Amino acid sequence: MNSLRGRVAVAAVTAVAAAFLLSGVVVVGTFAIELHTNQAQQAPPQEANPPDDGPAFDGEGPPPFIRALAVRLAVVSLSVLALVGAAGFWLGGVALRPLAALRATVERVVSTRDLATRLPESDGPEEVDALAVSLNAMLERLQRSTARTEATLEASRRFAAEAGHELRTPLTSIGMNLDVLARSADLSVGERRIMADVTREHERLLALLKGLQRLARGDAAEAVPRERLDLTEVVDAAVANASARHPDATVTFTGPDELMLDGWPDGLRLLVDNLLDNAVRHGRPDGRVQVALTVDDHTVRLTVDDDGPGIPDDERQRVFARFTRGSNTRASGSGLGLALVAQQAMVHGGHATIDTAPLGGTRVTVFLSPSATQMA
């Protein structure tokens, strides 16, 4: 029978029939024994001292054969109940075996993320096969949707890379021309002011272009090979570089001597650089930036604190979006810094949060995946 419902029904009918059959055997056997006993008692005695067949029936209570019948029925009922339970457990396992195989296949799809895998549709009962057909249809739709999404992302990455390459050359040329014009002695004060404004806009465009290219690389980071690296060394180098870029700010770093993990070195360096630039840019002039790297409960935490005005509570999640800036910010920027931080944290199996720093400004905490970490 190829129906799970039918198999369960047959098992139930078989168990009930077995119970009735055994009960009938007990009843018939008991009456047969009683009949044989009565015939033996009515026969003439063969011995001077007849055997003792037990106490005689005194007329009170049920007859002995009724009591014997009740005892035998109780014993048989308990035995049948145990046998039916064991048989039901075994038959249930047999009936649910196709579902277990289906679950194992689904778990394999989830673990490998291979949407091309299909579930067997003709190896089990009708209900299980119908479920397999529905799951296969869902996997096919997910596969098509994922393929379209990947194609769109690949097109956007390729566009960003090609556009960045095409724009970098003219922007570099414009920057060189601006530098030459800025050195000219024939410029008036008003013209120099205009040149300074144009130079700032040029620098902003270059920063925006670099940010877009880095975002495109980050979106494709799953295809980048990972390697074993020392996160402490990455953060320490980034802090030293930030101190050189911003000599007026005081940037300090505390952390373990060594913290090994598997990751993308360029992506992690990009994450730390953007955190530090964001903290220095939005902190107070000649302010302080405190960087800490810790491991708690096998979870890596990188915190960067500044002494700026902070970010309001209702904006702390929104500022991780691309081209988004906080309402309290005073410094210029493209709005891509924290977006890059969130992206790289996600690429490395973690996430980023924003809180209030002990210095009074913003604390950005990056949680990284605890897998394959080792602290010295």
The token pair at 104 is 């194992």
Of 114, 129, 156, the position where a domain reaches its end is 114
Mean pLDDT of 192-199: 85
Provide the number of structural domains found in the chain: 3
Of 96, 114, 132, the position where a domain reaches its end is 114
Average model confidence (pLDDT) for the chain? 79
Mean pLDDT of 16-33: 70
Q: What are phi and psi of 310, to 5 degrees?
A: 85, 180
Q: For position 322, what pLDDT does the model report?
A: 77
Give a yes or no: residue 212 inside a domain: yes
| Shared-domain flag, residues 234 and 212 | no
352 - beta bridge partners? 366
Nearest to 264 by CA among 293, 234, 298: 234
Give a yes or no: residue 167 inside a domain: yes
Helix axes 4-42, 64-112, angle to 10 degrees: 160
Residue 72: Cβ-neighbour burial (10 angstroms; 0-12, 13-18, 19+)? middle
pLDDT tens digit sequence for 216-225: 666 655 556 6
| Shared-domain flag, residues 232 and 359 | yes
Residue 253 in this model has a pLDDT that exceeds 90: yes
Q: Which amino acid is at 193?
A: R
Q: Look-up: residue for tokens 């602290």? A: 375
Better-predicted residue by pLDDT, 59 or 301: 301
| Shared-domain flag, residues 238 and 210 | no
Are 365 and 345 within 8 A, CB to CB?
no
| Shared-domain flag, residues 254 and 341 | yes
Ranking 2-16, 299-313, 338-352 by mean pLDDT, the lowest is 2-16
Confidence of residue 271 (pLDDT cuts 50, 70, 90): very high
pLDDT tens digit sequence for 25-65: 766 766 676 666 666 666 555 554 555 554 554 555 556 66
Chain centroid, CA 228 distance in Å = 23
Better-predicted residue by pLDDT, 72 or 229: 229
Give a yes or no: residue 124 inside a domain: no
DSSP codes of every residue in 303-319 = EEEE-S----GGGTTGG
Give the structural domain span for 92: 4-45+54-114
Give a yes or no: residue 161 inside a domain: yes
d(CA 205, CA 199): 10
Nearest to 214 by CA among 295, 290, 252, 268: 268
With a pLDDT cut of 90, the percent of the chain lying above it is 19
| Shared-domain flag, residues 235 and 207 | no
| Shared-domain flag, residues 233 and 214 | no
Per DSSP, 53 falls in state -
pTM over 0.85: no
Mean pLDDT of 125-141: 83
Please provide the distance, in angstroms rounded to a whole number, between the alpha carbons at the two ends of the chain: 63
Q: What are phi and psi of 172, to 5 degrees?
A: -65, -40
| Shared-domain flag, residues 350 and 213 | no
